[in-house]
Structure 1
């Protein structure tokens, strides 16, 4: 099944590890075969990995984009997911963590990334975290 991609002017995306930038006009691309594709908005930079859920998302993203390095990224994912499961108390969030882990074990990295984004909402509610900001100090100091 083909994937139709509508791009804004200047929008970046990655296909199988290659960074591609759209020109100065809107464009539509159709991918006819299976490829690892992430839009700019879904790509996390190393300096953005600053919360527990982001520490889970990042190695999944790397496994999806870099087949050669998957084993090392998988080990980081397992460590971070184990840490996250150790502190998450909400049953729905725990179930989501399990579903993400299942997707990763099945090589369904894109599905895992989408499920991981749902955990960003949980994390925001629990930590009052807003991307690009420092988490609020709730200790009163």
Structure 2
């Protein structure tokens, strides 16, 4: 069994198996068994979900943060996924979306969240290029993982 050790700063929050915890001083946590968690720095607020990929990230994040509502949230994902696939012609985005959907199907929600997060920079570049930004985005400079990593700490 592997142990995952996390250090949190005073006031920082962590979401563990649907529970929200905040520490009052710098502390170290060791997860000794199977656990699903999100660090506060990876939690997207609803008002920040301003693009299609960010909205999908928010939906997947809700599956992790609120396991009791995961079935209903999954329905939102299932309705959003075909629209996103139709909206993007980029092979990298489409591949990433397909990877995320496959991970969700296998109940690997944390890995799906990481895969969707990896698409945000690419989406930003695509949107900037479409908006005719002064400096065209260099899409070839953005690298994405071919597949979502299989390991995720103590999960």
C-alpha separation in 2, matches of 1:58 and 1:32: 28
Secondary structure of 1:117's counterpart equals helix
**Equivalenced residues, count:** 132
Match in the other structure for 2:60: 60
Match in the other structure for 1:132: none
Secondary structure of 1:23's counterpart equals coil
Match in the other structure for 1:127: 127
1:1-141 to 2 correspondences below 5 Å? 1-24=2-25, 26-128=26-128, 138=132
C-alpha separation in 2, matches of 1:80 and 1:58: 12
Superposition RMSD in Å: 2.0
C-alpha separation in 1, matches of 2:117 and 2:13: 20
C-alpha separation in 2, matches of 1:54 and 1:45: 10
User: TM-score, normalising length from structure 2?
Assistant: 0.77
Structure 1: gaps of 5 or more residues:
129-135
Q: Is the 8 A contact 2:100 2:116 kept in 1?
A: yes
| Structure ranking higher on relative contact order (CA contacts 8 Å, 6+ apart) | 2
C-alpha separation in 1, matches of 2:67 and 2:24: 28
Match in the other structure for 2:146: none
Structure 2: gaps of 5 or more residues:
134-155
In the TM superposition, residue 125 of structure 1 has moved relative to its aligned partner by 0.4
* Ranges of 4+ aligned residues in structure 1 off by more than 3 Å: 136-139
